[in-house]
Structure 1
Amino acid sequence: MKIKKILNNNAVIVLDEGKEKVVVGSGIAFNRKRNDLVLPQKIEKIFVMKENDKLAQLLSRIPEEHFTISEEIITYAEKALHTKLSEHIHVVLTDHISFAIERTRDGIHIQNKLLHEIKLLYTKEFEIGIWAIQHIQEVCKITMPLDEAAFIALHLHTMKPQGGDLRQTLRQTTMVRDMVQSISKRMDIFIAEDDISYQRLITHLRHTLDRLDHYEIHSLDEEMSEIIREKYPHSYTFATAMAKDLLQLHGIELPEQELGYITVHIERLRKAEKKVAK
């Protein structure tokens, strides 16, 4: 492998069998110059990606430490999730991590309005996000808020196989938040995020939206739907009001079958609230 371009002390672009590759390793470019051979013992990672140009540009513009931190987070995440993430993660997460570190050092903190929903919907990814901000704190001596752990969690989730588009994931998470807020507002209660009934509701609403995206509907027959409506009239009223809000805000219409299941979850919340009130 011959060096075509030095990006920084730890990354170079090489030509190998006619292909451009980004090669990374500690001190791989030290005392090296264009057309020198890369020392094999220095190679830690080789990137052959569609986005090699973007990665090369990024590596030439950000501190080497930021890329190293990002790669350590990616390695940890892939082990924790037991899956290989999309190659795109090396660009998007590195870019995000670098910018987040700079923002934090400048005293700028961006609030993640979907923090609680992300924490519940993408639990494993959020746990990795917490590890990531703790790792950044150890290396960079800066303290990041939990909001950053949630941002990292979203990037990790969308880079998983079948993880989905980031924009779609954000839209779905926003809809779940709006649905929960609609329910809690009409019930006039504060829903604690550590309440198991709340966690079940959040998870169910997410699966509901997933099914709608894939044109799948729960097979709740009409007789059972009627029983639920008659047995839990108040909860059904909250469910239908929430559905109207969802249609108005996001243009999503929930079928009657889904409202039946959501009614049951709302009823659990109502019962939990009554026990707390006692």
Structure 2
Amino acid sequence: MKATKILNNNAVIIDDQGQEKIAIGGGVAFNKAKNDVINPAKIEKLFVLEGNEKLEQLLIRIPEEHFILSEEIIAYAEEQLQTKMNSHILLGLTDHLSFAIEREEQGIHLKNKLIHEIKILYREEFKVGLWAVEHIKDKLDLEMPIDEAAFIAVHLHTMKTQGGDLHETIRETKIIQNMVDVIKTTLDISIKEDDLAYERLITHLRFALNRSKNYDVHAMDSEMLTMIQRKFKTAYHCAELVNKHLSDVQGFQLPEEEVGYIALHIERLRNY
């Protein structure tokens, strides 16, 4: 196994009998360069590169310590929950965790008003989330709110479930595509569809639509919403137009709190 691209000290793209794969493991790429031989004993996870380009992009962009934290949380969760997580959790949780740490460092503290329900519905996952918050504090000296334990719990629960309706998924995808078109037209920007900020936006729009169907609200306290409206005026106006499009074309509106979250993602997209 030879290295074809070093991503960070713990991740490397290798040539495995003519097939490119992402190899992950503690120190697997430390002091390595292109064409160096990689020790198989150091490889903990292998992903075929084709279809996992987003993972490669994530490993390059985010701080290495965020990726390590995510891996440690997943390993702890699998041990505590006595289950193997869907392989996609590495991408989803790492992306979420890095974004959450960035927000917290910037003083943006998102509240999870569903925390009490999450504690009850996903009791064991929430316990892992609490451990994760303490683990982040120990590793980064960063105090994360208990709300983050609830967000992590939902990620863990989601990665244990499967299912979905094909026709509804196609319909939902078309709605999301139209929402993105509104954003591109309003801001007069071209969006790179392989960009992580775009992926985050799409993921959030999908969850927002699902919550609206279930009359569930991604709650945000009024002070945070006011701050977003004042600080990110362009992004919030754009999010309002997205919501108006939903009302005009689909016949339903997202609650104001969801518009605030969408504005955060639009602002991130504008600055990527």
| TM-score of the aligned structures, taking structure 2 as reference length | 0.59
Structure-to-structure mapping, 1:203-242, within 5 angstroms: none
The separation in 1 between residues aligned to 2:86 and 2:207, in whole angstroms, is: 16
The separation in 1 between residues aligned to 2:163 and 2:131, in whole angstroms, is: 21
The answer to whether the 8 Å contact 1:14/1:20 transfers is: yes
The answer to whether the 8 Å contact 1:2/1:15 transfers is: yes
Match in the other structure for 1:151: 151
What is the count of residue pairs matched by the alignment? 181
Tell me if 1:171 matches 2:211: yes
The answer to whether the 8 Å contact 1:21/1:52 transfers is: no
Match in the other structure for 1:71: 71
Query: For residue 116 of structure 2, what is the amino acid of its counterpart?
Result: H
The answer to whether the 8 Å contact 2:20/2:49 transfers is: no
The answer to whether the 8 Å contact 2:118/2:126 transfers is: yes
Structure-to-structure mapping, 1:57-68, within 5 angstroms: 57-68=57-68
Task: State the Cα distance separating 1:249 from its structure 2 match.
Answer: 10
The separation in 1 between residues aligned to 2:30 and 2:125, in whole angstroms, is: 36
1:36 aligns to what SS in structure 2?
A: coil
The separation in 1 between residues aligned to 2:213 and 2:123, in whole angstroms, is: 13
The answer to whether the 8 Å contact 1:117/1:173 transfers is: no
Cα deviation digits, residues 42-82 of structure 1 (max 9, x gap): 32322337642111100001111111110010011111121
The separation in 2 between residues aligned to 1:84 and 1:168, in whole angstroms, is: 27
Match in the other structure for 2:101: 101
The answer to whether the 8 Å contact 1:114/1:174 transfers is: no
Task: State the Cα distance separating 1:161 from its structure 2 match.
Answer: 3.5
1:85 aligns to what SS in structure 2?
A: coil
Task: State the Cα distance separating 1:173 from its structure 2 match.
Answer: 11
Cα deviation digits, residues 195-253 of structure 1 (max 9, x gap): xxxxxxxxxxxxxxxxxxxxxxxxxxxxxxxxxxxxxxxxxxxxxxxxxxxxx999xxx
Match in the other structure for 1:123: 123
Match in the other structure for 1:80: 80
Query: For residue 160 of structure 1, what is the amino acid of its counterpart?
Result: K
Query: For residue 69 of structure 1, what is the amino acid of its counterpart?
Result: L
The answer to whether the 8 Å contact 2:20/2:48 transfers is: yes
1:3 aligns to what SS in structure 2?
A: strand
RMSD: 2.9
Task: State the Cα distance separating 1:33 from its structure 2 match.
Answer: 1.4
The separation in 2 between residues aligned to 1:59 and 1:149, in whole angstroms, is: 23
Cα deviation digits, residues 130-189 of structure 1 (max 9, x gap): 1111111111111111111111111111100438798399629964789xxxxxxxxxxx
The separation in 1 between residues aligned to 2:54 and 2:129, in whole angstroms, is: 24
Query: For residue 167 of structure 1, what is the amino acid of its counterpart?
Result: F
The answer to whether the 8 Å contact 1:49/1:87 transfers is: no
Q: 1:75 to 1:168 in 2, by over 3 A?
A: farther
The separation in 1 between residues aligned to 2:66 and 2:22, in whole angstroms, is: 17
Q: 1:170 to 1:116 in 2, by over 3 A?
A: farther
Task: State the Cα distance separating 1:129 from its structure 2 match.
Answer: 0.7
Structure 2 residue ranges without an equivalent (≥5): 170-205, 219-251, 255-272
Cα deviation digits, residues 86-126 of structure 1 (max 9, x gap): 11100010011111112212221111122222121111111
Seq. identity, % = 57
When Rg is computed on C-alpha atoms for both structures, the one with the higher figure is: 1
1:67 aligns to what SS in structure 2?
A: helix
The answer to whether the 8 Å contact 1:70/1:94 transfers is: yes
The separation in 1 between residues aligned to 2:253 and 2:106, in whole angstroms, is: 36
Query: For residue 126 of structure 2, what is the amino acid of its counterpart?
Result: F
